Amino acid sequence: MSESPAPHPESLLPFKSVSIRGRLPGPRLIVLGAVHGNETCGSVAQRRLLDEIDAGRTVITSGLVTFVPVANALAYACGRRMGDRNLNRALAPTTEPRVFEDHVANWLCPLLAAHDVLLDLHSFQADGQPFVMVGPPDNDGPIEPFALAGREEALARSLGVGRAVDGWLSTYARGARVRSERPAASGAERDLDWRFGVGTTEYMRSCGGYAVTLECGQHRDLDAPRVAERAIRGALSLLGLTRGEPPTAVVLSESLHLQEVVDKLHVDDRLARAWRSFDAIVAGEVIATRADGSALVAPFDGRIVFPNPSALPDEEWFYLACNSDRFAPAAG
């Protein structure tokens, strides 16, 4: 009798979450870490909180909190952003899982849908300050209809950071439409469906909940896990899952709205300088130069966000953001 082939190591990686329920009724919060495997600050912070809860130093008195220190076990084990693909794009269950992240989605999506609120903890490549990404204002539009913006804004203010960014999915959708209207710049498959921009927070909103992504700092910044831990504590307190006064709302010093995404079209397209996320731009300033020598200039005063000098043709190259008054302090 021939032996069965050994299973691929990927198939043995487990999916793990830890849920703690208080004795009183309350909302259901889920906290994610390592959706991208090299972004570990959320994993570290959650494990610290779990140790405190086990030791009785932090007590969940109401509702339910579910900790997922490592959402993408393969990417985490490999110490890289993705396993087989980006878990935070086109997130949805599938009846025909083909790669590891499809199996993650089939586990994670029902878990998200079983909760009311999501705090997704990330970090970023370049140096910079932490910021929170929020969803759209209340709307009944076709891209991301939403009715819980007020609660989401309160959650964003409880996390202890001073910069908020919105407009992700609507801007991504406009970029996908523009991409679909021009000839392909390369032989690679292009992302032409706006639903490819759906990640954990967008999926959570589609299930009737609300969600924010907190970018806690640079990947290796020793303060990033502390930023993540402070945010979890703030969310637990705001939602009434732990006792004590709710956190003091932070006056967000900067509120930005993603307005435009620019794709790279040719391998010889070049950024004008080594831009970092949230560098200021001035209307008319040259941001980049196309391979044919034409200049791309800033259409307004604002910020450049998520510049990617390593982008390939037909991929997102950088985003442009304008100032927003969404989080402006109330008058009076």
Sequence ranges of the domains in the chain: 9-252, 257-323
**Cα 210 from chain centre:** 13
* Pairing of the two strands 117-124 and 24-32: parallel
Structure tokens at 315: 């991929």
- Residue 296: CA count within 13 A, CB half-sphere: 23
Fold matches, 9-252 and 257-323: no
What is 257-323's CATH number? Answer: 2.40.50.630
What does 283-324 look like in DSSP terms, one character per residue? TT-EEEE-TTSPEEE-SSSEEEES--TTPPTTSEEEEEEEE-
325's CB contacts (< 8 A; 6+ apart) are 255
Give whole-number Cα distances, 152 to 156, 246, 256, in Å: 6, 15, 16
Q: Which residues of 62-75 are buried (b: 16+ CB within 10 A; e: fewer)?
A: bbbbbbbbbbbbbb
Tell me the pTM: 0.93
Output the tens digit of pLDDT for each of the chain's 332 residues.
444 444 445 556 889 999 999 999 999 999 999 999 999 999 999 999 999 999 999 999 999 999 999 999 999 999 999 999 999 999 999 999 999 999 999 999 999 999 999 999 999 988 889 999 999 999 999 999 999 999 999 999 999 999 999 999 999 999 999 988 888 876 666 678 889 899 999 999 999 999 999 999 999 999 999 999 999 999 999 999 998 777 776 778 899 999 999 999 999 999 999 999 999 999 999 999 999 999 999 999 999 999 999 899 989 999 999 999 998 765 44
CATH 2.40.170.20 given to domain 9-252: no
